[in-house]
Amino acid sequence: MDYKRYIAERVCVEGLSAEEIAEAIAVPPDSSMGDFALPCFRFAKVMRKSPVAIAEELSKSYKTDEVIGEVSAVNGYLNFKVNKKGLAEEVLSRILQEGARYGASETGAGKTVCLDYSSVNIAKPFHIGHLSTTVLGGALYRIFQFLGYKAVGINHLGDYGTQFGKLISAYTRWGKRELVEQGGIRALNELYVRFHREAEENPALDDEARAYFKKIEEGDKECLALFEWFKELTLKDVKIIYDLLDIKFDSYAGESFYQDKMKPVVDELREKGLLKESQGAQIVDLEEYGMPPCIILKSDGSSLYATRDMAAAIYRKQTYDFDKCLYVVAYQQNLHFKQFFKVLELMGKDWAKDLVHVAYGMVSLEEGAMSTRKGNVVFLQDVIDQCIEKAYRIIDEKNPELENKREVAKKVGVGAVVFGALYNSKIKDITFSYDKVLNFDGETSVYVQYTCARAASVLSRAEKRSSFAVCLPCEQEFELLKALGDFPETVRSAAEKYEPSYIARYCVDVAQKFNKFYFDCKILQAEEGVWEYRLALTEATLQTLKNALSLLGIGVPEKM
Ligand code: ARG
């Protein structure tokens, strides 16, 4: 239930819309004052009265009902108290009825959102730097789907560039088929590193690599076959991680897919008089917009990352007719996105306003946390494996009798990695620490999962509850109920701000409130007429947490 809206529609201030009033409504830090408060200072000008007088007047005209039970005017604030029993009835019945759909909506029906995320580079390590884009994108994908949108997940593969010429050269010289087949990305990366080492001594290698790349572009059968094989090997490795993290894509159209789609873009730019020559290269001047020029073609006529992104954006608009196209990419690429969005706008693509760079901060690993460091690269697979292993050890120590310890450790370990990446506002740089993400008492997924297992255990020990009558909630129950009721709004704002962290934080908040309720109030030992109601509240909590975690891609073990 959207209380702010509910209240706003019933407070009448001349000249102000319900939206404006809803925006002004706040949640007081101390709930003894009220559950919601409307500061009347900002109306003083319009109404030409003192805030105190306005609050008095509004409190008299406001009609209380089964939702808002009490209104009072205090020092220029209009304070509202929610009808607690009404809230309990509304929240519990809604959650128990809607089940796994609680929090979902149809607001996005008929609309399409494209999401470009993870977007791995072929034959390059899938490292910890790819964690955020992968799990943020995956979460946003599920969140938009949950709100009724058609989501299109796109893995814009980095599969174009001279590095593939280098790789073919290295493989032809030093590669062994079986070894590369077995070693996957790591073997390919080693070849690539060796190429650079040897090319320093022997610059002729670079010419060879360029020649190979040219062959790929010209469609040489052998070179293309190798290139496709490198791609296959990379995707096979990456798929293991996608399966663990429950990440899905609807398209793997990468940079090379746009090879034949760039010429029309360049032609259109030229026709519209946007192209300029600069030192042999073709550019779009963006000085007027305070940006360096966007390079479209190099002096040798080859395309750039931005050219391919422009072709991709146009293709996506034509193919999916998106309402929004999101790019979940690190903030290091801020300028790149600003530039090509601008160029599309200058081309007269009015939909350029629907392109959104969802930028995020860097993830680094706590010093000394990785034993399998190879050079400077920390493979994401190693981080996940390590987290699962550490989770296993903790679980084994805490609860050696637990069945399916391996299964549980997998959910806990994967959850810890995902939640660790999603918990902070996405733009922040974060340092990943195993101890922090696996802390059972911290702001972690394992804390939330453990809370779910606790709720599930209460439910499994209870007698069958047929029906229940809502009681007037005590403070702990009321705080929990209010939080549960906030879920739909939390999902909505997570989508609006592209912030899965809202949902992660929400999970911790609900878990904390449930635990307070669990420790302060008897559930199963409560008197007749109360235990049924508390059991329903427990069930509703578990359902809401499951829904929230599943949007983040985190599973809930039955027992822990
Ligand atoms: N492969 C690129 C990288 O690792 C990310 C691609 C992001 N998507 C895009 N359409 N530019 O930096």
Would you place residue 371 in the very low, low, confident or very high pLDDT band (cuts 50, 70, 90)? very low
Cβ atoms of 275 and 282 closer than 8 Å: yes
Asked whether residue 95 carries a pLDDT value surpassing 70, the answer given is yes
Q: Tens digit of pLDDT for each residue in 319-340?
A: 999 999 999 999 999 999 999 9
Asked whether residue 372 carries a pLDDT value surpassing 50, the answer given is no
- Mutational pocket test of ligand 1: of 160, 249, 333, 341, the residue with most ligand atoms within 8 Å of the beta carbon: 333
Q: If you average pLDDT over residues 500-520, what whole number do you get?
A: 98
Q: Tens digit of pLDDT for each residue in 411-456?
A: 999 999 999 999 999 999 999 999 999 999 999 999 999 999 999 9
The residue ranking higher by pLDDT, 31 or 282, is 282
Q: What is the pLDDT of residue 375?
A: 54
Q: If you average pLDDT over residues 513-540, what whole number do you get?
A: 95
Ligand 1 binding site (Cβ under 6 Å of any ligand atom): 116, 119, 121, 156, 158, 309, 312, 327, 329
Q: How far is the CA of 233 from the centre of ligand 1 (A)?
A: 19
Nearest to 81 by CA among 100, 60, 66: 66
- Mutational pocket test of ligand 1: of 119, 307, 309, the residue with most ligand atoms within 8 Å of the beta carbon: 119
Nearest to 419 by CA among 549, 298, 328: 549
CA gap 299, 398 in Å, rounded = 64
CA gap 70, 80 in Å, rounded = 6
3-state secondary structure 214-229: HHHHHCCHHHHHHHHH
3-state secondary structure 86-102: HHHHHHHHHHHHHHHHC
- Mutational pocket test of ligand 1: of 156, 249, 328, the residue with most ligand atoms within 8 Å of the beta carbon: 156
Q: Nearest C-alpha to atom 1 of ligand 1 is from which residue?
A: 158
Which of ligand 1's atoms lies nearest the C-alpha of 121?
1
CA gap 516, 528 in Å, rounded = 22
Q: If you average pLDDT over residues 258-268, what whole number do you get?
A: 96
Q: How far is the CA of 290 from the centre of ligand 1 (A)?
A: 23
Q: Nearest C-alpha to atom 5 of ligand 1 is from which residue?
A: 119
Nearest to 11 by CA among 1, 29, 24: 24
Q: How far is the CA of 175 from the centre of ligand 1 (A)?
A: 28
Q: Nearest C-alpha to atom 11 of ligand 1 is from which residue?
A: 309
Asked whether residue 368 carries a pLDDT value surpassing 80, the answer given is no
Q: Strands, DSSP E only, in 131-251?
A: 150-154
- % of the chain with per-residue pLDDT over 90: 85
Q: What is the pLDDT of residue 339?
A: 98
DSSP string, 46-82: HHTS-HHHHHHHHHHHPPP-SSEEEEEEETTEEEEEE
Cβ atoms of 415 and 451 closer than 8 Å: no
Q: What is the pLDDT of residue 480?
A: 97
- % of the chain with per-residue pLDDT over 70: 98
Q: How far is the CA of 116 from the centre of ligand 1 (A)?
A: 8
Which of ligand 1's atoms lies nearest the C-alpha of 157?
1
Which of ligand 1's atoms lies nearest the C-alpha of 305?
11
Q: Tens digit of pLDDT for each residue in 177-221?
A: 999 999 999 999 999 999 999 999 999 999 999 999 999 988 899
Q: What is the pLDDT of residue 46?
A: 82
Q: How far is the CA of 458 from the centre of ligand 1 (A)?
A: 47
Q: What is the pLDDT of residue 553?
A: 97
Q: If you average pLDDT over residues 89-93, what whole number do you get?
A: 93
Q: What is the pLDDT of residue 144?
A: 98
CA gap 292, 336 in Å, rounded = 10
CA dihedral 440, 442, 444, 449 (to 10 degrees): 40
Q: How far is the CA of 153 from the centre of ligand 1 (A)?
A: 14
Q: How far is the CA of 32 from the centre of ligand 1 (A)?
A: 50
Give the chain's count of helices (H) and strands (E): 21, 12
Which pTM does this prediction carry? 0.92
Q: How far is the CA of 131 from the centre of ligand 1 (A)?
A: 13
CA gap 407, 52 in Å, rounded = 60
Cβ atoms of 474 and 531 closer than 8 Å: no
Report DSSP state, residue 470. P
Q: How far is the CA of 133 from the centre of ligand 1 (A)?
A: 10
Compute CA distances 55 → 11, 32, 36, 50, 502, whole Å. Answer: 11, 18, 14, 9, 32
Q: Where are the alpha helices (DSSP H) in 275-429?
A: 305-320, 334-346, 380-398, 405-422
Q: If you average pLDDT over residues 458-486, what whole number do you get?
A: 90
Could you tell me the two tokens for 251?
């398209």
Q: How far is the CA of 284 from the centre of ligand 1 (A)?
A: 21
Would you place residue 32 in the very low, low, confident or very high pLDDT band (cuts 50, 70, 90)? confident
Q: How far is the CA of 328 from the centre of ligand 1 (A)?
A: 9
Would you place residue 14 in the very low, low, confident or very high pLDDT band (cuts 50, 70, 90)? confident
CA gap 349, 362 in Å, rounded = 32
Q: How far is the CA of 231 from the centre of ligand 1 (A)?
A: 16
Cβ atoms of 353 and 322 closer than 8 Å: no
Could you tell me the two tokens for 56?
């008095």
Would you place residue 369 in the very low, low, confident or very high pLDDT band (cuts 50, 70, 90)? low
Which of ligand 1's atoms lies nearest the C-alpha of 120?
1
Q: What is the mean pLDDT of the chain?
A: 93
Which of ligand 1's atoms lies nearest the C-alpha of 333?
12
Would you say the C-alpha torsion 243, 247, 248, 254 has a positive or negative sign? negative
Would you place residue 374 in the very low, low, confident or very high pLDDT band (cuts 50, 70, 90)? very low
Q: What is the pLDDT of residue 77?
A: 95
Q: What is the pLDDT of residue 364?
A: 85
Which of ligand 1's atoms lies nearest the C-alpha of 336?
11
Strand ordering across the sheet containing 355-360: 150-154, 112-116, 324-330, 355-360
Could you tell me the two tokens for 516?
């307070």
Q: What is the pLDDT of residue 376?
A: 65
Which of ligand 1's atoms lies nearest the C-alpha of 158?
1
Q: How far is the CA of 310 from the centre of ligand 1 (A)?
A: 13
Could you tell me the two tokens for 362?
């860097």
Q: What region, left, alpha or beta, does residue 292 occupy, with left being phi > 0 and alpha being psi -120 to 50 degrees?
A: beta
Q: Nearest C-alpha to atom 6 of ligand 1 is from which residue?
A: 119
Which of ligand 1's atoms lies nearest the C-alpha of 312?
10
- Mutational pocket test of ligand 1: of 127, 235, 329, 336, the residue with most ligand atoms within 8 Å of the beta carbon: 329
Q: Tens digit of pLDDT for each residue in 134-182?
A: 999 999 999 999 999 999 999 999 999 888 999 999 999 999 999 999 9
Name every residue whose Cβ is closer than 8 Å to that of residue 331 and which is 6 or more positions away in sequence.
359, 360, 361, 427
